[in-house]
Structure 1
């Protein structure tokens, strides 16, 4: 509109920053080679961060990269949720419309929370409820979107002014920095370092980045005198007087922006009489404008980072010609500049805007915000649609008009919730609670829960017709706090709510808040949450069916399924299903039915329970219920694995991986990986199991699926005789599970591993003590899938102790064996796997008393031959061979030879060296020849280094000069997994780099030279 304007105060010469530009150029080159890069640029206000990014963007564009810029928006000190990402994605959509559409295919509605143009339906009322994974799901899908867009060409995503960023933007950026592993992508962000005071919310974010080796930090310093001289010469287009350079350098202290301001002021002869305050210098420039231009500058200062022209015109209330002349004066003076896209205006530098804004009188600020709000209410098209609600809320709030501010802030909280920006939703709800008492009662009476809240703790009324209550806001805020990780704030809100409810006598609403406290207490590691659930159950006991009643029962049933399965848990699940059906709460019903099916299987009603779980899985898929998809593909295969149907479980888990990855359910994906590792171990696919377990560790956002991965790795290490590794992984599992919320599914497998590790290290009494501790505590009903392996491990220890006549085994042995036998008699054997374990455990106990016969072990083998568990079958074959050799006949010896051949072949294939060695020793003692069996591999020098089979493969490729990406492609693993293997190798070898690792491998002769040569040539 204004045409070309003078830009005298911006130097056409880019001064200094050679080192910083080299760092950015190096990042661009690395990204172009397929290695994503992350950088954070810090520096004080005015030091030149934006200019550096502009120069880099120009250079990147010359290299063929697509640059997408996004800035954090400041509106009355309130950041807009995901504003810089929305802006940057919009720029990507303009530059690469086809690529972005292809990358977003299938997930448009979810990604529209960041870029509304992708879908017309994502943010409508009645969208899916937020859940524990809602924000993580959006983050994962965003990461995948960027990786796909950047698969074919280099993309630079630059986010400026991170010091203004909302919490959700910070969380998403941190997620990208942690998880991006593929794509030709550079992600960089800038922030103002002098604004980061001790309590600034960006400080924890920066501290987290310091722990990430993948993020490079660039700190911009001030210019030296020579650079200041070059900058002044560029601005004035002439060589400056040395005395003038000295004066400006001294006053600006090398700050690039202040150098510009001082140089122009000196050139225009307005330095005389200036105070020492540089902020005053900025105001002097503004005060030199005509009065109309000063007025427009004050209006723009209060309107936000950028003010659209039509909005500015509505607020300024000037004749169009007068407004244009005022803008022309401000733009010519380089106070204001046209915003990108040409639709509005902003200050050339935020420091000037802050100076002008700070100079406004309190009443003047309120009046300006009120005029902005009224203009926007009169014509909502004055601002972009995705900013409208948030800006209106900010304007009315800072106008100090509660009657207008409360509904606007509540509308903004709904928008934040629909975008999964739960941190901003919580902040807005707290602002609404602040406004509540000062808002006229007649205004509050017009507000409805159905319009502003997603959760409806019942008050016996219709939320569509009953006025909104303060407790409704507290309920919504408690959920928002839990979902965004602000659990301490959420706990305080529930405490206040329950205190208020003590006087109101509303048991349903109180029960709902106690359920929230239960979840928060567990999440904060302050307990297991059962006390809170118990209070909730007492509050709803005897009340008519309701959604809250169903939720309380379903939550209690699910809690009990994991910790105290049994008849009470099943009864709660059945009533939860019944009540949910009565009130039409489909999501609660499906959740309760899944719990009920698992409890039925544990109780021995296997086919009925499985049918229930399969039906729930099909229904959540048909209805597209995201949370249900995750849970059904975790719980169903877990139950199948527990009853020995491992192959069936793997099929569902593979489908679960596809679905959770597609939907961005990262934590559910981690659980699927953990369960897949367990089932693959059972099936004898141990290398695949190890990869799955590592993926569970790396994928999980919460600790417990990482603990499951560590548990599986410990199991494999123990079976392979890698005892230090087993101990390390067991310690990691314990750390992940913690001690505040004990669960049999975690504790019993860990006790089994601790027992087995102690026995393998010759610490028989420690092994017995661990087993005895568990036996005395007893096994809750429904825990047989974890109890049987532990009982078996304890019986094996006692059996081997007798066979080897260990003196330490005698004291207390008889009493312990009696407790072991008693536990075996009481445990359920309803599934074929459990029955097989019972036969095996009893056989070991017979062996411990020297009563086992070949018939005893033949019966066990028959039980395991019908199952898909090759390692278990190999172990009982070894036992039968031992029993046959004790008889000593020719037929028995021939049969034992064949059994030992099979045992050793399986053990060698799995890498189970202890079992292979045991079979070899038994054959040697009996003078049997196992020539038909595959020979054991020769002793590998890598064994002395403690390397696993997969780590040997990785070290071979490292020695051949492969990168992590090349290793991943050759071994069919992810680059992240390859990186973890390399780190483990460096630690075990005690070296600091890949070159040293290759040198160690060469020195020890681990790999033939021709193998490395052949690998390199490819």
Structure 2
């Protein structure tokens, strides 16, 4: 072995050339999402540094943010850090929404627009921040956003990255690094992610180096002096092939004639390596590096000097020595820390227990006077110093602050660690456990909250009442998650047995079990729970609790067409005093809006929605706002407000994909819209997410609507067996549930399917069953659908379809009214076709024009002029869109009621106008 070791790291990248080549060949050319995962020390940061230093990226603006392990609550922290580097940068063509970043980025005050007026809606405010970030990134030109160590990110950063990566600006690439083993739920973004078609997606999983690569790495560090195969083999064995450990171990061998230690674990290797490196440095340097290891985050000279117990001048001199020795580095201006968390941990582990404790006490003194106080750090130092009372106080205060600023990940982590403390009295365990349950339940973006509450329930110190409260929160949380409703009902039943001392919470649990639209439990089993809740409402003195219970009771009864509900709604107050009461009133009104949308009281639905969203915004209820937004999307579909609806629903689905009630409703509307455009693959995908595959774990009216959509899709493609099978499954769910008014979308297509498959007697029986099921129910949408059903089977259909049209128009259900008018044989098909076009119902418009041609009446030209030059005509736009959906020429012809030859000509024109050479390229251009 050579005697002179001069480098602390390799001057060349070793073992990652293929990965680097993939990145360099992709990132500069197009919008790219890069996800780099690997264990600590594996070389993620080195690979990113090599990428950013490559000449091909010289024209790209580089922004880098780091997630910190011991961080204070700060939503969007890593991305905000990255954006700070834009200080002084000119931002061109930026919209006013970018001003939403002003409070977070005072450094950019001279280039950002004025801050917009507050919206008052937490969801809308948050979404505006996401949009503002995207605006800024789009305005700086070609850029690369790097976020390192995503396993330590706050939920806001994850949500912001999901938003950016779902539809990044065309000139932005995003690179994230993370350690999967340290991720909660093992998903770097909190949810599954798939890049959009127009974005290149790269996942790199870095593995340890093999023996040959370790030999090359050692030779490069040793400045090309020979490295024997035997030495490389032993070095690989000792370091597990982790590049950072290889580098540090070789550095520690300086002057030892290259003798490798006997086989020991990697942490011990690093500890000994840093001990050797520090051996020749003066005592002051030792004290500073020990202070840095205990602080755990990059710190300035003043903090380091206080913790080390020396003056600032001495600390500066020590920092110079430590930097020269490669022990500490200036991580950002005037902030000093270790190059890697493994290095920090190695030095920390080398300290004796009493020395560590004294340094933690000094850290508390150094941090206590900061404004605002870094509560997370104070809590951690108190815990490690053995100051249990301070640890409990700072820890709970830090959790409360994290909850206030919207960082539930920090809050749940702290509360869990507080609960792990032995010998806590039951009163404190109860308080912390219920607080943890509330934080987990209230959050929208945190990771694996169900597992969090499961762990709380395993704490034997919990009182029975507190256990019941936490179990109830767990059950309520499960209801929001796909595939958990049946399990949620069992959990909530068990909670009721534990809540005998809390009749208010037991009533809330019963209200959830009685909520009619959750799961496939027969309504006959749910009504007794509602009656139990109503009895408690009659004796309850708390307005907040009464409103909370009425939100479930009134919404559930209205959803099943109880004719007494709308008149009883007047008993709800129009204004309340406290935030808690306002939150429950908001929920009640939003639940009523959803039920009105289901039953067809669309004007009332809009009225309840407007007041409910306003109240939810005032009360800070993000989950209520989320459900209101999806209700609004479904309401807009029924009432023909389709302009921008697909884009809005898609955006919201990206936000709320993990919230079952919201995501399934949005998917239903996206499926219905896709059917109207003839986009069969998209329709099938969206409708498959409505609960049709697991009705027991669905929002039942939405799942029934999903069956209706799928049946309509298969019938439109003349796949009668598939349509018939779906109809049977949908009707089975309706009969099992026992609520026929929810078949307003399903019954008409079921009758059509029975007739198409030669089963008119079954169609007649279904109509009678439907009529009996909705008799006496306050459900105008279902009654309009009944007239439509009768028109499908009648020998004289026009009067029934006219009645359906009149009923639908009275509800402002414009699309359904148009369908009824078309079936009634309207004489103004050209106008109807044009209206379908304006609405965006491409297939319906094409069907009307096909009917005109079949009658020998020339179809009038569609909207717009005849000459389009190099622009796509409306018909060519339709063709291009369906090509991007993956439909063949024959399938497109069936959707648009054209001949395959005509479609072939349209495709050729589209390819020529867009400059595409293939259908695949056309799909990317239009996607």
Q: TM-score, normalised by structure 1?
A: 0.66
Cα distance, 1:380 vs structure 2: 1.0
Report 1:456-495 matches (<5 A). Answer: 469-470=431-432, 472-479=434-441, 484-489=446-451, 491-492=453-454
CA distance in 2, matches of 1:526, 1:185: 40
CA distance in 2, matches of 1:43, 1:582: 49
CA distance in 1, matches of 2:76, 2:261: 41
Deviations 1:686-736 (A, max 9, x none): xxxxxxxxxx9999983442243234545765xx9x7x9977765554447
Q: Residue 214 of structure 1: SS of its match in structure 2? A: strand
Cα distance, 1:487 vs structure 2: 3.6
Q: Which residue of 1 aligns with 2:52?
A: 57
Whether the 8 Å CA contact 1:367–1:399 is kept in 2: the answer is yes
Q: Which residue of 1 aligns with 2:485?
A: 526
Matched, 1:89 2:72: no
CA distance in 1, matches of 2:823, 2:907: 35
Whether the 8 Å CA contact 2:551–2:587 is kept in 1: the answer is yes
Question: Residues 932 and 366 of structure 1: is their aligned pair in 2 closer, same or farther, counting only changes over 3 Å?
Answer: same
Q: Which residue of 2 aligns with 1:29?
A: 28
Matched, 1:108 2:95: no
Matched, 1:373 2:364: yes
Deviations 1:769-817 (A, max 9, x none): 6797578669748x3xx5445444455567778xxxx5x655x787666
Question: Residues 754 and 294 of structure 1: is their aligned pair in 2 closer, same or farther, counting only changes over 3 Å?
Answer: same
Q: CA RMSD in A?
A: 6.0
Q: Residue 335 of structure 1: SS of its match in structure 2? A: coil
Q: Which residue of 1 aligns with 2:704?
A: 747
Question: Residues 273 and 46 of structure 1: is their aligned pair in 2 closer, same or farther, counting only changes over 3 Å?
Answer: closer
Whether the 8 Å CA contact 2:28–2:57 is kept in 1: the answer is no
CA distance in 1, matches of 2:666, 2:825: 37
Of 133, 137, 152, 1:149 maps to 137
Q: Which residue of 1 aligns with 2:510?
A: 535
Of 202, 209, 214, 1:215 maps to 202
Question: Residues 1005 and 919 of structure 1: is their aligned pair in 2 closer, same or farther, counting only changes over 3 Å?
Answer: closer
Of 580, 588, 591, 1:592 maps to 588
Report 1:847-926 matches (<5 A). Answer: 847=795, 852=796, 869=814, 911-912=843-844
CA distance in 2, matches of 1:638, 1:405: 49
Question: Residues 799 and 637 of structure 1: is their aligned pair in 2 closer, same or farther, counting only changes over 3 Å?
Answer: same
Cα distance, 1:352 vs structure 2: 3.2
Q: Which residue of 1 aligns with 2:516?
A: none
Question: Residues 905 and 919 of structure 1: is their aligned pair in 2 closer, same or farther, counting only changes over 3 Å?
Answer: farther
Question: Residues 931 and 778 of structure 1: is their aligned pair in 2 closer, same or farther, counting only changes over 3 Å?
Answer: same
Whether the 8 Å CA contact 1:28–1:186 is kept in 2: the answer is yes
Question: Residues 7 and 628 of structure 1: is their aligned pair in 2 closer, same or farther, counting only changes over 3 Å?
Answer: farther
Cα distance, 1:294 vs structure 2: 2.3
Q: Which residue of 1 aligns with 2:666?
A: 705
Q: Which residue of 1 aligns with 2:399?
A: 413
Q: Residue 289 of structure 1: SS of its match in structure 2? A: coil
Of 377, 384, 389, 1:391 maps to 377
Cα distance, 1:874 vs structure 2: 6.7
Q: Residue 380 of structure 1: SS of its match in structure 2? A: coil
Whether the 8 Å CA contact 1:79–1:165 is kept in 2: the answer is no
| Count of residue pairs the alignment pairs up | 841
Matched, 1:182 2:179: no
Cα distance, 1:427 vs structure 2: 1.1
CA distance in 1, matches of 2:392, 2:659: 43
Matched, 1:165 2:152: yes
Whether the 8 Å CA contact 2:41–2:243 is kept in 1: the answer is yes
Q: Which residue of 2 aligns with 1:73?
A: 68
CA distance in 1, matches of 2:667, 2:845: 27
Question: Residues 200 and 116 of structure 1: is their aligned pair in 2 closer, same or farther, counting only changes over 3 Å?
Answer: farther
Q: TM-score, normalised by structure 2?
A: 0.72
Question: Residues 608 and 436 of structure 1: is their aligned pair in 2 closer, same or farther, counting only changes over 3 Å?
Answer: same
Whether the 8 Å CA contact 1:9–1:235 is kept in 2: the answer is no
Of 513, 517, 523, 2:475 maps to 517
Cα distance, 1:229 vs structure 2: 6.5
CA distance in 2, matches of 1:750, 1:743: 11
Cα distance, 1:340 vs structure 2: 1.8
Whether the 8 Å CA contact 2:593–2:604 is kept in 1: the answer is yes
Whether the 8 Å CA contact 1:80–1:390 is kept in 2: the answer is no
Cα distance, 1:63 vs structure 2: 1.7
CA distance in 1, matches of 2:596, 2:190: 48
Of 526, 537, 543, 1:546 maps to 543
CA distance in 2, matches of 1:569, 1:311: 64
Question: Residues 587 and 21 of structure 1: is their aligned pair in 2 closer, same or farther, counting only changes over 3 Å?
Answer: same
Greater RCO structure (CA 8 Å; 6+ sep)? 2
Max Rg structure: 1
CA distance in 2, matches of 1:283, 1:141: 47
Cα distance, 1:910 vs structure 2: 5.1
Q: Residue 484 of structure 1: SS of its match in structure 2? A: coil
Report 1:256-295 matches (<5 A). Answer: 257=244, 260-261=247-248, 268=255, 271=258, 278-279=269-270, 280-295=272-287
Q: Residue 739 of structure 1: SS of its match in structure 2? A: helix
Question: Residues 479 and 519 of structure 1: is their aligned pair in 2 closer, same or farther, counting only changes over 3 Å?
Answer: closer
Whether the 8 Å CA contact 2:143–2:172 is kept in 1: the answer is yes
Whether the 8 Å CA contact 1:232–1:260 is kept in 2: the answer is no
CA distance in 1, matches of 2:260, 2:909: 81
Cα distance, 1:594 vs structure 2: 4.1
Matched, 1:38 2:33: yes
Cα distance, 1:145 vs structure 2: 1.1
Of 849, 857, 861, 1:932 maps to 857
Whether the 8 Å CA contact 2:329–2:338 is kept in 1: the answer is yes
CA distance in 1, matches of 2:252, 2:353: 30
CA distance in 2, matches of 1:778, 1:1015: 51
Question: Residues 750 and 376 of structure 1: is their aligned pair in 2 closer, same or farther, counting only changes over 3 Å?
Answer: same
Q: Residue 414 of structure 2: SS of its match in structure 1? A: helix
Deviations 1:282-311 (A, max 9, x none): 322223323332233222212114232111
